[in-house]
Chains A and B, each alone.
Chain A
């Protein structure tokens, strides 16, 4: 069901929006995978995750990993239910703003 458009300033910052968009289509993702997909530095990604976690839009979980030689743990990031709702509504608002030009560009890309 389409969401009601609602602009969300917490999400709108480019990296936060991209992070939410990536997490929206998976259950959860490891920090390293997110860094690769979003092409962000560790520091920038950590900052972005921190800001969204403070807003209650993402949650992080740490787990041990056999893939790592050291004692550090891998961090997984997931969107919360509130984050999903906020993102869907924000995307609806963005699409409404972008209007026909975006729809045309998208359908041309898919053709």
Chain B
């Protein structure tokens, strides 16, 4: 590792001096404390989870709409609402999150995708069987799942954030 003269002097001072090690530890502790505050600030606002749940419920309920092009209209509307939710999150928290890079957040994202696909398939199956009440029941489950996954995402992000570089 090549060091400038200034860096070499600083490093040798740190390595030979107990205060230097304390300083390194203090810096790392301060960063950990900042990251804790950041995790709190990064959590989605209260309205976010229920809206995600509603969005998923609407998507699932859209399987009741006929087979024509109208069937895709709610999905398109949902996409617009999802962008709106994202913009609302940015405005409320003042930050743009990174794509999940930590293990937990990535796992939650995979879980979220699996839940959405599975619930949509079930809803479409019931819709095909002309069972609107069951589709509504799946949509209700979707509402709860969307809300829960939103909370889970917050926790996973906070968990990853505290372990980040």
Contacts and interface: CB of A to CB of B under 8 A. Distances in A.
Contact of B165 (A4, A24, A36, A97): A24
Instruction: Classify chain B's interface size.
Output: 35 or more
Grouping DSSP codes into helix (H, G, I), strand (E, B) and loop, the B interface class, with mixed when no group exceeds half, is helix
A37 B28 contact: no
A72 interface: no
Interface string B45-56: 000000000000
B27 A25 contact: no
Interface residues of A, number: 41
B164 A29 contact: no
Nearest to A8: B7
A98 B28 contact: yes
A33 interface: yes
8 contacts: A9-B7, A12-B10, A25-B161, A26-B42, A30-B94, A37-B41, A67-B91, A97-B14
